[in-house]
Amino acid sequence: MRVDLPIPFELSVPHVRWHTSWLEAAAEFAATGEFQHGSGLTPDGEPPFRPELPAWRPAELTDPGRFAAFIAHLRRLEDPGVVRPLALVPDTKLWLTRGEVYLGALSLRHELNEYLFEQGGHIGYSVRPSMRRRGLATATLQRALVLAGGLGLARVLVTCEGTNLGSAAVIERCGGVLEDVRGAMRRYWIDLPR
């Protein structure tokens, strides 16, 4: 596996201290029309993943109280006692940050359900448009693989749409081996060191 040396960044537990920078990043995503994978947001025009769950849309998250509720929601997602009754898998949500600047999002699902096995995979990530092509996504996936090994996983599934050349390059740089293409999704497995 190639080890990139991107700009320094941390993987941080989501916190309201990044509200201003998070909103600036959300505006960048809105301008490009891209969805922020791994963020926990609900895609525009789509219902929540399950009808009984709240939707989290960037436009509402300008409100500090709503943003604080979003943060609390993200932090609860890795608690099996919270997510299992909702038929969700535990999911660690982390943010790429540098000081007070929000750089992007990472989602590490602790296991696969049927949807994740077919489409979503274990790991989702996004880098804000103004911070791309600096090796951040590659370094983030590399760090996520270490975290996945710490969860006891022997291998992880990482997927991307066939048109997402950037994400495919990131996955392949991190050792992804293409198993197949299901619908629009390329499905890669990465073996983790024991």
Q: How far is the CB of 132 from ligand COA (least distance, A)?
A: 3
44 binds ligand COA (CB under 6 A): no
Quick check: 127 binds ligand COA (CB under 6 A)? yes
- Residue 126 touching ligand COA (CB under 6 A): yes
Q: Stretches 18-26, 50-58, 120-128, 146-154: which one binds ligand COA (CB under 6 A)?
A: 120-128
- Asked if 166 interacts with ligand COA (CB under 6 A), we say yes
Q: Distance between CA atoms of 54 and 155, rounded to whole angstroms?
A: 31
DSSP string, 75-128: HHTT-HHHHGGGT---EEEEEEEETTEEEEEEEEESS--HHIIIII-SEEEEE-
- The residues facing 177 across adjacent strands are 189
Q: Residue 137: what are its φ and ψ, rounded to 5°?
A: -65, -40
- Does 137 sit near ligand COA (CB under 6 A)? yes
- With CB under 6 A as the contact rule, the residue among 10, 27, 34, 155 that binds ligand COA is 34
Beta bridge partners of 191: 155
Q: Which positions touch ligand COA (CB under 6 A)?
A: 34, 37, 124-127, 132-138, 160, 164-167, 169-170
